[in-house]
Structure 1
């Protein structure tokens, strides 16, 4: 899942990005309303996290403009402005959720995951393909009952493949969902992640390479 973090604080912004990346999200960052508007216009995000007090104005005005233009990307407002009037203004401008600073990272992650799921088909909390199980809430993967140690990126790639088990998933789709804008489309990061997954999953190989297309997870979900 790909998320845009709009935060101008030089310490908090990177901390939020690092906390979300550690749980498997692909993160892009912006410090200004203008920058956030540009990124949303050219990238597909599952969620936007936006501070209100940005150097070029209140991010709520940008959210209202997005809604007026028909952009439906879920927005979580993360701000120190926490009065009832502030929260009401957030929802009236088109925000989907509102979290007041200071906050717990675990709660932010849970809220973002909920927003990312909003416009997607319902998913089972546990995905199963052959003898492979992926527990989304606990972030655990087992094969034949054996717990596997996957990185956050490997988990994200495997989840993307398992959600569409039996269907082709292109490299560009995996890159879009599991990496951020800093990743070079011409790089081999997807192939490296797949190679690492194959090694950790062990035989028999469940990941099928589709020449010139991408990958497919064998078996029925």
Structure 2
């Protein structure tokens, strides 16, 4: 999919920010639509069918977390959240209701575009990062079943919705089961980031996975990184 075939919905109630983001994304070749409140965002997501949503957390009508819940319940779509508060609880909740990544205000347009492209790349490569050499079918870890080819996860027989980023993170840990992966390695393999400046992104996504799949699946190795235990 080329940039000019990619539709992005910007949900931002500050007209100056919305206009600046829209202008930059149009200049980058993306198709753009804009909504300024929660109810309109849900309506535009339904009608416009964007490939990605840039979603502010603080909105009139209802907030971005509720927008995320409603949109994801109708049609899974990658979401990059904008937050003015560097609050870990807000970020974890956002990731837990279906956001793929977040950017904290104030942000540079260059960073925003890079994050958007990174999320889109992950969505456009189904199975590449996920399929291990021996992954002809589903892999079971206790009551957890991970179908890497279909990119589907079930827990106790119930399907669990993971965002593309969450699935890629789980698949990366599964491919390296038993090994401890540093945050820098995870950033490189899952996010395609060459530097280690986004370690908090890794931590927040691990916490979101634990909320959905249980606390005992991913082990924290303090001062090093994370591991999916071979015995789990």
Shorter-chain TM band: 0.5 to 0.7
If you compute each CA radius of gyration, which structure gives the higher value, 1 or 2?
A: 1
Determine the C-alpha separation between the residues in 1 that align with 2:33 and 2:97.
Answer: 23
Specify the alignment match of 1:82 in structure 2. Answer: 86
Counterpart contact for 2:42–2:70, Cα < 8 Å: no
Higher relative contact order (CA 8 A, sep 6+): 1
Note the C-alpha offset of 1:99: 0.7
SS of equivalent residue, structure 1 residue 109: helix
Specify the alignment match of 1:168 in structure 2. Answer: none
Specify the alignment match of 1:158 in structure 2. Answer: none
Note the C-alpha offset of 1:81: 1.9
SS of equivalent residue, structure 2 residue 124: coil
Specify the alignment match of 1:43 in structure 2. Answer: 48
SS of equivalent residue, structure 1 residue 78: strand
RMSD over aligned CA atoms reads 1.4
Note the C-alpha offset of 1:97: 0.6
**Structure 1 residue 117 and structure 2 residue 116: aligned?**
no
Aligned length: 121
Note the C-alpha offset of 1:121: 4.1
Determine the C-alpha separation between the residues in 1 that align with 2:89 and 2:56.
Answer: 16
TM-score by length of 1: 0.52
Determine the C-alpha separation between the residues in 1 that align with 2:63 and 2:114.
Answer: 25
Unmatched segments (≥5 aa) in structure 2? 1-5, 127-232
Mapping for residues 1-221 of structure 1, pairs under 5 Å:
1-69=6-74, 71-121=75-125
Note the C-alpha offset of 1:49: 0.3
